[in-house]
Structures are given as C-alpha cells and as structure tokens.
Structure 1
Amino acid sequence: MGEKQLSSAEAELYDRQIRLWGIESQEKLRAANVLLIGIRGLGSEIAKNILLSGINSLTILDDGLITEDDLLHNFLLTESTAVGKKIAEEVLARAQALNPLVKIITDTESVTAKSPEFFHNFTIVVATKIKVDSIIKIDNICRERNVKFIYGDVFGLFGFSVADFQEHDYFEDRIQLTAGRKRGHDGEKKTVKVKGNISYPSLNKVLILPNTKQDTVFVKKLARPSNLFACLLTLLEFKKQHHRDPDYEKKNEDIEKLKIIAADIIELYNFTNLNMDSLYELLFGELIPVCAIVGGVMAQEVIKAVSHKEVTINNIFLFDPITYSGKELTVGA
C-alpha cells in the first residue's frame, strides 16, 4: 500500500506528532486502513486513540445492540441514545468529531458472516469481545495477505492484548556518540536509525485451550508459569463454553466455573505451583479505567505496527489487577 503525502490541513493538525515520530511515520499512518471489531468500552478507547493518530480510514464492525451498560461505559454514545439501537451506527457522530479528516465506515453485519476477502482489505485488524475460534480464524486469514492482527479484552480489573504482526520490521532512534575525544571532551551525540525485526508466531501456537489438538510445546517453553497468562486462557475458555463473559449477577456460580476451567488449563500446561484464588473476584464487568489503559496500549501498538517506528510488544500485554501494573510476555516464539 502506497504512502500518501499529507495535505497542508493534515500537516497542521498532526504537527505535534510529526515532531514526535517524523513525517515518514505519519505518512504511513495516513495510508493505513484499520478494521476495529467491537465498539464497546475497550473498543471505544482504541478508536479514540487511533483516530487521533491520523489514519486514512477506520471501519467499525459490530452487529450488537446498545445496552444499559453501554450507556454507562461508552463515551462515544450520547445521553439521548436509546437502548436497543445498533451501536456501530450510534457511535459514528462522536467518533467522527474526534478527527474529521479520517474516513469512518460502520458495518452492522456479524463478524462470522464476513468472507476472507473482507479482512484482506485492511492494513491491520484490531479485535475485541470475540470468541477464541474467531480470533484464530481471523488471524489465519490475516496471515494469508500479511495483514497485521491484534486482539484484546477487559474482564473487570484484568485486561490483556495479544498480537500477531508476523514478520515485523521496525526502526528505532538511538543516540550514539561520534568516535574520538579531544581535549577531554566526549564525541558529539547524533541520532541514528537502527533497524530491527520481530518474528511473531501465529495465534494458534499461543492461545491453546483444553480439548484442542494443538501441541502446547511452545507455551511450555515459558521460563516461569504466569498466573496472568493462565487467567487469560481461563477467560477465553469460559467465553468459548458459555458464550458470554463472567456475570456479576451469577458471581458465585461463575467463580466455580472459572476454577474448574483454570484447573484444566494448569493441568494442560503443567503450570505447577500456580494459585489463581486472588484473581477470581476481580474478573467481572468492563471497568472504564482498565479499558482506558488497555485501549491506550493497544492503540499504541497499532501505531507502532503501522508506522514501523519503535519496538512493538512481543507478543502479549497483561494488566495485573493486583498490582495495577502492565507486564509483557512472549509466548510461542
């Protein structure tokens, strides 16, 4: 996809970020067409940040209807929005107001109804609130045409993202000293571009759940079992089995279901000495502050992946609900 030269209006609007990451990176962003699947609490935060970055187009795909919770959690909806309307259409006005220079398309069809060719039209696909079967399927489709893919979700105080940017080249600015010293002075400092590469595994080697035939050998290479990674897998399996997120109104019942699934995950991966008891109470709802944090991280990864500027996370980001800190984890590589 060819890069587009910035108009004078774009150069003025994006002046501060051009100073931050350079005109070449901004032109790459200007050429990017992004698909965002899911425009709930997390999706709205991702949309805000990537719209402000100055991409070419954003397609919002969500076949869902607005609920009472959406009116509380989604700042792209207005107070006058009615429950039961199509959420993708109702967020359009406020989303467009964030950046009138970005083309926004809304699509209310189900993600499962889309053909492989639909996903091939994008530079990067960003997904939220879908089940693991769809995650793996879309990732495989994206790999056919070198379309980058990142998925994320929020469950209460816990949030995460997992990326497949395939063979990703990037440039990183580094400060170097020129050779030689004269009269006790160090050499002059200069900024140089250093090229790097990260090879991402496909997500069917990363997100392996019980009752599948995938080999867990890549995941078992983890230097140390992670409570948060086990929690991620447990929640994906819960959604797969029950076709929903854990429900606060069924809290005690759902915690027991989570414990049973977690035991299967721990056995599958041979994650000995893991104890997730402190996490179960924290996995209910879609909390706005956590959506803001995870959405900011995911949008930042989209910007880095599209612009090829600075090092991307390889390949999992985890927001710890106990310490309120972010952690990076490499799985399957």
Structure 2
Amino acid sequence: MSEQKLSAVEAELYDRQIRLWGIESQERLRASNVLLIGVRGVGSEIAKNILLSGINSLVILDDGTVTEEEQNKNFLINKNSIGKKIAEEVLLKAQALNPLVTITADISDPTKKDAKFFEGFTIIIATRIKTDFLMKLDKICRASNVKLIFGDVFGSFGYSVTDFHEHDYHEDQIKLPTQKRAHDGTMIKGEKEIVKTKGQIIYPELKRVIILPNTKQSIDHIKKTKRRNEYFYLMLILLEFRNRQGRNPEYLKKEKDIELLKEIKSEVLDLYEVDHSKLKDELFEIVFGEVVPVCAIVGGVIAQEVIKGVSQKEVPINNVFLFDPITFSGKEETIG
C-alpha cells in the first residue's frame, strides 16, 4: 500500500491525530481501503471509529435486514428502517461521521463472493461469520497480502482475533537524557530524545488459532500453555454454536440454547484436555444478544488494532483479545 498525501482540508481535519501518531501514519490510513463484514452492534462501533480515523474508503458488506432489536441497539440506523437492508440503512449516518471517506453498501451474501472481491482491500474486518468461511477468507487474505481481523460480542462477552501476517511496526520511545562533562569540568544534563524503534510480529494462520471439535488438526501447540485464559474456550464454544445453528444464542430459545452450549463445552474442554470446572456454566446466562456498552468497548479495541495494522504505528495485539464479562477488563492471549 502506497501512502497518499493529505490535502489541506484533510490536514486540518486530522490535525489532532497527526499530532498523536504522525503524518506518515496518517497518510497510510488515508490510502487504506477497508472492508467491514457485518454492521450490527459491534460492527457499527467499528465503523464509527475507523471512519473518524481518516481512511480512504469503506465497504460495508451485510445481507441482513433491520429488526426491531437491531434498530434499538444500532446507533447508525434511522427510525422506520425495520425490514430494510442494514448495509443501506446505516449509510446516511455513517457518511455524516466523515464526508471525506468513500462509503459503499453491499447487500449480497459474503459467502457467495468471489475470491477476487476480497483481494483489493488493505484490511478486512469480519464479524458474525462461521469459521469455515473465516478460514477460507484467511487463506485468501494471506495469498493477497490483505490483513484480517475478526471479532464479535455475545451478550457481555467479546473477543477479537488478528492475522496481520508478517507485520512490521514502529513505535516512539523516549531516550533518557545523559550527562556530559563540559570543558570547565561541570556536568551538563542532556535533553530527552524521541527515538523510533522498529519491530516485527509474525502471526500464525487462523487455522492454528481456532481449532474446534471434530477436527483433524493438532492442538499440541495450544495445549503447551497450561494456564490458558478460560475465556478462550468460551470463544470457541460460541463459535461452534454458530457453526451448528447458523445463528448466535437467542434469548427466546434460552433454555434449549444453554443445553447445547453445555454439550459443546464438554466437547471443547475434552479436546483441549481441560478440567470442566475451569469454565462455569453460569457464564452461559450472559451470552445472549449484544450489550451495547460492551459493543462500544470491543468495537473500539478492534478499530484500534485496525489503525495500528494499517498505520504500522505502535505494537498491535498478538493475537487474541478477550473481554472478561465478569471483571469488565481486557485480556490478551498469544495463541498458535
């Protein structure tokens, strides 16, 4: 991705951001083309944050229609939108957030898209998809050098998983002043310096991170870590639920869905040879719907990682973020 020079209008609009992460990083953002799959609760928060950051273009890909629940929790949707296509209904408010960004709505099924469709983006953000499509998408992204991050919110729990391939980044560090001796023998204290340091993170393929029951893949590389965060397994359970049911857990089907979640829990924890007491069944009571404040937090984290990935400024998460629904704190895990 080549950098794009900022116009005078853009330089004025993004002045605060340029002061924060520098003109070079802002120009990388200005040249980026982003695909967002799914613009529901957490997706709307992601869209808001990346639009304000000053990207070049955003394609919103979502074939869903607006429900009453969605209209009540999605701040990008207007009134009287029930029954209409979500991707189209969010356009007006999304564009108002940043008129300088080109925004396009695509109401087709993401799983029916040709591989070439995904190859032209700088980064893809995926929500609400099954893992078979996720693995296909990750393979396409790796072959086309397109960065990928996906995440979701289930009730009060949320997560994100990143695959930025071989990601180069830089960060500014303060070099402490040193004392120098003057000609007259007195000691002179130097000034602090800002030094740019470079680094690289090599991310594993997602098929080495998301391994579910009934797979032929080895999990030995994941099992090596004895104290894996319990919410990593909750993420796998919820992904497997979506794979089997084609949906997220629904409150109107709560009793039946919790029983299935318990069954999947046994399969996942047996696969990873984890004591079943590590993950309490009570957690399944709080994985229904999308809690709006949690969407704001997780959406903010995902957008932050998108900005890091595109701008190459600061160290991104390597590679899993888990939002603890009990303590309301974020946990980072390196898996795979």
- How high is the TM-score relative to the length of structure 2? 0.96
* Structure 1 partner of 2:109: 110
**Aligned-partner Cα distance in 2 for 1:70–1:107:** 18
Identity of aligned residues (%): 61
Question: Contact 2:179/2:187 (CA < 8 Å) preserved in 1?
Answer: no
* Structure 1 partner of 2:148: 149
* Structure 1 partner of 2:17: 17
Q: CA deviation digits over 1:65-97, x for unaligned, max 9?
A: 11111111110111232x111111111111000
1:252 positional shift = 1.6
Task: Give the secondary-structure state (helix, strand or coil) at the position aligned to 1:317.
Answer: strand
Task: Give the secondary-structure state (helix, strand or coil) at the position aligned to 1:318.
Answer: strand
Counterpart pick for 1:232 among 235, 257, 261: 235
1:131 positional shift = 0.8
Counterpart pick for 1:294 among 283, 295, 298: 298
Counterpart pick for 2:309 among 296, 302, 305: 305
**Aligned-partner Cα distance in 2 for 1:181–1:210:** 63
Q: CA deviation digits over 1:192-221, x for unaligned, max 9?
A: 000010000010000000001111122112
**Aligned-partner Cα distance in 2 for 1:275–1:299:** 29
RMSD: 1.2
1:223 positional shift = 3.9
Question: Contact 1:36/1:125 (CA < 8 Å) preserved in 2?
Answer: yes
**Aligned-partner Cα distance in 2 for 1:118–1:324:** 37
Task: Give the secondary-structure state (helix, strand or coil) at the position aligned to 2:220.
Answer: coil
* Structure 1 partner of 2:88: 89
Counterpart pick for 1:284 among 263, 282, 288: 288
1:276 positional shift = 2.3
Task: Give the secondary-structure state (helix, strand or coil) at the position aligned to 2:274.
Answer: coil
* Equivalent runs, 1:243-262 vs 2, <5 Å: 243-262=246-265
1:145 positional shift = 1.1
Match of 2:316, as an amino acid?
Answer: T
Match of 2:52, as an amino acid?
Answer: L
The answer to which of 33-42 and 217-226 deviates more is 217-226
Q: CA deviation digits over 1:239-288, x for unaligned, max 9?
A: 00111111111112111111110111111011235132231111111111
1:196 corresponds to 2:195 = no
The answer to which of 261-270 and 221-230 deviates more is 221-230
Question: Contact 1:150/1:164 (CA < 8 Å) preserved in 2?
Answer: yes
Question: Contact 1:168/1:198 (CA < 8 Å) preserved in 2?
Answer: yes
1:178 positional shift = 4.3
Task: Give the secondary-structure state (helix, strand or coil) at the position aligned to 1:117.
Answer: helix
The answer to which of 217-226 and 230-239 deviates more is 217-226
* Equivalent runs, 1:153-172 vs 2, <5 Å: 153-172=152-171
* Structure 1 partner of 2:224: 221
**Aligned-partner Cα distance in 1 for 2:7–2:154:** 41
1:3 positional shift = 1.1
Structure 2 unaligned blocks of 5 or more = none
- How high is the TM-score relative to the length of structure 1? 0.97
**Aligned-partner Cα distance in 2 for 1:223–1:331:** 12
**Aligned-partner Cα distance in 1 for 2:207–2:225:** 16
The answer to which of 183-192 and 227-236 deviates more is 183-192
Shift in CA distance, 265/185, structure 1 to aligned 2, threshold 3 Å? farther
Structure 1 unaligned blocks of 5 or more = none
